[in-house]
Structure 1
Amino acid sequence: MLKYIAITIFVLSAYHTSFAQRHNQEQLVLQQFKNYFNKHLADSIYQQWGREAQQTVSKKQLDTLLEKQLYPLGNIQAATFIRKKDGLSHYKLTFPNDTLQLILSIDSSNHIQTFYFKPYQGALKAQINSAQNQSKTSKAANSAASEQEQQRVTSDNDNRIDLLVDSLALQYTKRKNTCGLTIGLLVDGSMNYYYYGETIHGNNTLPDKKTLFEIGSISKTFTAILLAYSSIQDSVKLDDPITKYLPDSVASNKDLTNITFRNLATHTAGLPRLPDNLLPSEELDPYKNYDVNALFSYLRNYKQHQKPDSLYEYSNLGYGVIGELLAQRYDSSYSELIEKKLCQPLGLIDTKEFPDGDQLQHFIPTYNNEGQLTPHWHFQALSGAGALKSTVTDLLQYAEANLNPPKTPLGQAIVLTHKPAWLVSETQDLGLAWHIDIENFLEIFWHNGSTLGSSSFLAFVPDKKFAVVVLANAAPSVDQIGRSIIKKLIE
């Protein structure tokens, strides 16, 4: 087992750019390094380093590192991106009989500026050695970098979380019927991201912060906030009967009389999961042609099978009704309301129903339970139930807004969705959309989502101020990944 790596380069730089811009370049640099390493081309590896890095560590020192510690491990079999933290990319390097973690960054000319190995478990602190005859500038840079590295050494708990995330994610992405996976953690005010698998089967391209996923029923939490916001800012009230907002020809159905918005938002309206006149013309895209005429036709002829406030029965139909009635109330569309009233104020720039422009290149294909390509879902009248697409970045920021709601009417609406409104069981309450599990005297707010080719999970714990987001472009559920991480964070 490799105990430590004796040469570390940390060159501090004021150069900053977005993750999306740098990630692809880093992947190319890493691939070149892997090729050079496996061919024992030390000169080529050294030429990958920037000038400051070469001033910090000599070619002789690099040769010693390679010959004495790295080449004996054998060829690099795989290089897997783990996460981005503090501007540095963390990679898992797999050798025949060992595994290392490489911390890497590149400068504006795509040369290596940070090049740091440590045992993959992260339990042992690396020894940092500098060349003896460095200039004062190099010494100062190394001193600052060493201090920065000391701050970056994670606690045992952080290491356990990283290892758990890695283990769960690799188990998921190694399955033949999965594809890409991204995980976001918000802990102690720090947002960390992890990427696995591929955006498309066989393209060897990891998801990233800009990758758009279908989030399915997590959309319901947005719809619930929209409803709560309307109840604070407008005359729409949670306990208003929905017949007040339906056309007369529909409102005349007495079986709808006692259904309120609160009932719809807590799945206690007595409505079924789906309307019985949902007859897809395209089996793989079931909501595509279900429009407002079909919805109102169903409601006009609806026959009550459960009284409101009598039973919890999860209903996509109910959230579709909320979205449609609010859209008609404001003479708008569900998509426009979500973007204008929620996403723009919260800075969620990539969360929307209809990706457009540059977003389209980041909206990745989806795969069903058999691992086969399947179409994205499209919605009309039932958009409020599951139409939104988003990124791990946006959803982690959304979770942060739920943990620390802004001091605005929108923040008041977010808080309103958290208030328990229905007791599902002894250990689970229901807010507006949010499921609230009670574990170890802590409230865990969560919602999941799925389409025919995607799976999603979002949870946050207000008392602990942490959150988890898991997104996949394949149908197999990611719930267990999210729940396992939440459990470990609580511990």
Structure 2
Amino acid sequence: MSAGPAADIPAAPAPVPYEDGGLAPLLDEALARVRAPDVVVAVSRGGHRTVVSGGTAAAPAVPREDLGFGLGSLSKTFTVLLLADLARAGAVGLDDPLAAHLPGLPPLSGDACRITLRHLATHTSGLPRVPRDLFAGAVLHPYTNGYAGYSGDRLLSAYAHVRPRHAPGTRWHYSNFGLALLGSALAHTAGTAFPDLLTRRVLCPLALTATTAGADAARSRPDRAIATGHHGDGRTPFPFTDMAAFTPAGGVLSTPHDMLGYAEAHLRSAGGPLAGALRDVQVPQLRKGFGRRRETHTLTWFQHPASGGPVLFHAGATFGIQCFLGFHPATRTAVAVCATRHDRTSSVVHAAYTLLQSLAGRPLPGPAHR
């Protein structure tokens, strides 16, 4: 599951004045940059949506923009929004120890005891990217789904025996392990399964009716409505990815339109469902990296400077699908890009990020242009 590292992000283009009718060429340019069997580029500007699609394969039976795409690490933003909502409700505290929400564990090492829910959300827990017993399947063999069948009990056992790489809160280190544990802790506290909890507290209030979490929910969709991922060659299909206990870290499926709806909820200045939690997840928490690779991290989003104010974004990938979602509050702009191929040459992150920065440099058209 990709985190959208800064190394993949191009330099921001120079701002250009808005020209009426100038949106379509930018979307077409982004679409042409992405090489995959199925590609969707979707933009929301002030609540007005424009979607283009294409790809190297024949058009599927279902319009590409209606397909459910595996979001990979973009799923983490949903889990952290759930955390923020539960914190607003007083069910958890951001600085609660993780262990306090996972009772029954054996004695933990000193640093493991000090991991908080905030540390998990911001990737500062000190936990490795994946548990030791998952490393071979999830990292060394990128087209082998080692996550399938990884149970919640196995996840908790891995936590009980882990030795963090560094003291919590001292360094940023991306961790699927940490977000999986965060989802497990929230589910345990609420006394319900994570997919059901996310649906009830986040997906339903935001009217994300085409977004689901977990393998069972995904399998309830018609097969033809789920995007089929592909290996790096762009031809070999890859089966649906069951993330099991790692669903909070990478097991959400969504359509491009629902992705825009999710971003639009973040762009509302006030009011609406989860308004407080949506603001909370956009508050900067830390800065990491140096020089061109220096960036700000909110509770869940990467934040980069842009014209008129920062852009916030996150990328994600399953074993055969890559997605990007970003938004620019100053111009009420959101960009979602999905592709059924995951490798560096597919250019999803580069194309999507460039489009987002380009639109951030263009003020919204006035009422006469709408």
Bigger relative contact order (CA 8 A; separation at least 6): 2
CA contact (8 A) 1:405 1:414 kept: no
| CA 1:204–1:339: 2 relative to 1, 3 Å | closer
For structure 1, the 5+ residue unaligned runs are: 1-154
| Structure 1 residue 357, shift from structure 2 partner | 4.6
Matched with 1:221 is 77
| Structure 1 residue 286, shift from structure 2 partner | 1.9
> What do residues 26-56 of structure 1 show as CA deviations (whole Å, max 9, x unaligned)?
xxxxxxxxxxxxxxxxxxxxxxxxxxxxxxx
CA distance in 2, matches of 1:463, 1:315: 30
Q: What TM-score does the superposition give when structure 1 sets the normalisation length?
A: 0.64
Are 2:54 and 1:196 equivalent residues in the alignment? yes
Matched with 1:366 is 229
Matched with 2:243 is 379
Moved more, 211-220 or 355-364: 355-364
Are 2:293 and 1:435 equivalent residues in the alignment? no
CA distance in 2, matches of 1:234, 1:261: 14
Are 2:218 and 1:355 equivalent residues in the alignment? yes
Matched with 2:11 is none
CA distance in 2, matches of 1:364, 1:305: 37
Letter in 2 for 1:166: D
CA contact (8 A) 1:161 1:488 kept: no
| Structure 1 residue 249, shift from structure 2 partner | 2.8
Matched with 1:466 is 333
Q: What TM-score does the superposition give when structure 2 sets the normalisation length?
A: 0.83
CA contact (8 A) 1:212 1:359 kept: no
- Equivalences, count: 331
| CA 1:356–1:377: 2 relative to 1, 3 Å | closer
Matched with 1:267 is 123
CA contact (8 A) 2:62 2:224 kept: no
Query: Is the partner of 1:335 in helix, strand or coil?
Result: helix
Matches of residues 17-416 of structure 1 in structure 2 within 5 Å?
A: 157-173=19-35, 178-197=36-55, 201-202=57-58, 207-250=63-106, 252-278=108-134, 280=137, 284-353=144-213, 354-357=217-220, 359-371=222-234, 372-404=236-268, 407=271, 410-416=274-280
CA distance in 2, matches of 1:406, 1:287: 38
| Structure 1 residue 251, shift from structure 2 partner | 5.1
CA distance in 2, matches of 1:445, 1:316: 20
CA contact (8 A) 2:41 2:51 kept: yes
CA distance in 2, matches of 1:251, 1:398: 40
| Structure 1 residue 202, shift from structure 2 partner | 4.1
CA distance in 2, matches of 1:204, 1:394: 19
CA contact (8 A) 2:61 2:224 kept: no
For structure 2, the 5+ residue unaligned runs are: 1-16, 362-370
CA contact (8 A) 1:180 1:207 kept: no
CA contact (8 A) 1:286 1:377 kept: no
Letter in 1 for 2:31: A
